[in-house]
Amino acid sequence: MIKSFPAAVRPLRRRTLLTAALASGLGLAAAGSAAASSAAPLAAHRRFTGGYLLPAPTGRDCLGTVALHLRDTTRTDPWVPAHPLREIMVQIWYPARSTRGHLPAPWLSAGAVPHFAEAFGFPADQIRATATHGRVGAPVARKAGGHPVVLYSPGLGGDRGTSTVLAEDLASHGYIVVTVDHTHDASEVEFPDGRVEVAALPPELDDEVIGRVADVRTADIRFVLDQLAVLNAGGNPDAGRRRLPEGLRGAFDLDRAGMFGHSLGGSTAAASMHGDRRLKAGVNLDGTLVGDSAVAGSDRPFLLLSSDHGAGVEDPTWNTFWAAQRGWKRELKLLGAVHGSFNDGVVFYPQAAAAIGLTPEQLAEMVGTLEPHRSVTVQRSYLRAFFDQHLRRRDGGLLRAPHPRYPEIEFVR
């Protein structure tokens, strides 16, 4: 059976997360899982032929990428009691000074491919041959004061590379983007020693479990922000003390940090914004908001971007958030989009449709009716416009009113 991308859960914003089934905790393990490969010698020295294609980033900067294995010694793993410490992987995408001599990072690490291919019915060889635009370990482009920083949290069951098309584009326009794996919530996470940890949530996703997932995710984000401060000061928080790219020290402008996420990741962004003032701006891509912190709002800017759910259907959690949000706020709708439009599946499923037996109707259910590359273009434009406006104080006017260049965007409020 072909599952929705990135997860067997399809927590459409117009349904609650609890009515969606997490059949096996599966998600897209994009460059994020692959990012373990930035520390894995064999993966880092692969050359790619064929594979699926990610749309090229639109910015002027070439891209570097590195993965870090982080251990939070203050927490035990909430989902696997045998693991005494909370371990996560993060992927850092950044503007590179030069990419010469640095090979592309794989979209998915070799160790994670079998789990992903079995779960989604994709040809393993094709997945294995897919590359990102990021070059492993390339030196960081220097910038006085550092680059603005954006964190990313995936949907329930998704891995840290779920929205590589968006992360790469932001990095090509001068942002450092840090994508986060929420281990054992994520479909599969490969660690530098070759260990692959798969989803381990309880089979019954009741209110209590979803609440715990939300709390774990916000704690992960707080921890990652702490570790970025260590990196910026010249430390190396990687558990294996692996070599870091030249120029990471001082590269992060943590006074200009924001966050976005898809589905439950969007809820994670809202909750993290409420609880952590280090985050100055946030975006929720089509996610129902889970927990008191997520709907409580903040005094900092927040963007809600939904799929095309039809007229007269509202998510009560968005209304609660809207009433509580004290900072700048905007709600937009992407016409012709579905829940799965906001991750890399929007470009991969069309390329794989014939091989995995998707009918045109099934494909539309997964990626929407809006042409996939156009969908990516619109999402990239509005995401970048939001962070440019609120982290860089570059107001291009795109978020003030409907724009004739983007008729697919409806201003809801």
6, part of any domain: no
Number of domains the chain is built from = 1
The closest alpha carbon to 142, from 100, 94, 102, 105, belongs to 94
> What percent of the chain has a predicted confidence (pLDDT) above 90?
77
38, part of any domain: yes
The secondary structure of residue 17, as a DSSP letter, is: G
1, part of any domain: no
The closest alpha carbon to 4, from 162, 142, 213, 131, belongs to 162
Model confidence pLDDT, tens digit, residues 236-247: 999 999 999 999
**CA neighbours within 13 Å on the CB side: how many for 77?**
20
176, part of any domain: yes
pLDDT at 127 over 70: yes
Query: What CATH number corresponds to the domain at position 229?
Result: 3.40.50.1820
Rounded (5°) CA angle 268-244-178: 15
Averaged pLDDT of the chain: 88
| Residue 214, pLDDT score | 96
In this structure, are residues 408 and 374 in contact, taking their beta carbons and an 8 Å threshold?
A: yes
Model confidence pLDDT, tens digit, residues 259-316: 999 999 999 999 999 999 999 999 999 999 999 999 999 999 999 999 998 665 779 9
| Residue 311, pLDDT score | 61
Model confidence pLDDT, tens digit, residues 31-42: 334 433 333 333
342, part of any domain: yes
Going from the C-alpha of 258 to that of each of 26, 386, 392, 396, 400, the distances in angstroms are 27, 10, 11, 18, 20
Mean pLDDT of 353-358: 92
| Residue 157, pLDDT score | 87
Sheet with 176-180, side-by-side order of all strands: 104-106, 131-136, 63-72, 86-95, 176-180, 147-153, 252-262, 279-285, 302-306, 329-334, 409-411
Task: State phi, psi for 143 to the nearest 5 degrees.
Answer: -150, 125
**CA neighbours within 13 Å on the CB side: how many for 300?**
24
Q: Which residues of 70-105 are buried (b: 16+ CB within 10 A; e: fewer)?
A: bbbeeeebbbeeeeeebbbbbbbbbbbbebeebbbb
- Amino acid at site 233: A
7, part of any domain: no
pLDDT at 48 over 80: no
210, part of any domain: yes
4, part of any domain: no
Mean pLDDT of 117-142: 90
Rounded (5°) CA angle 68-69-75: 130
> What percent of the chain has a predicted confidence (pLDDT) above 70?
88
Structural domain for 170, as ranges:
17-411
pLDDT at 9 over 70: no
| Residue 17, pLDDT score | 37
Separation CA 218–CA 90 (nearest Å): 15
CA 45 to chain centre: 25
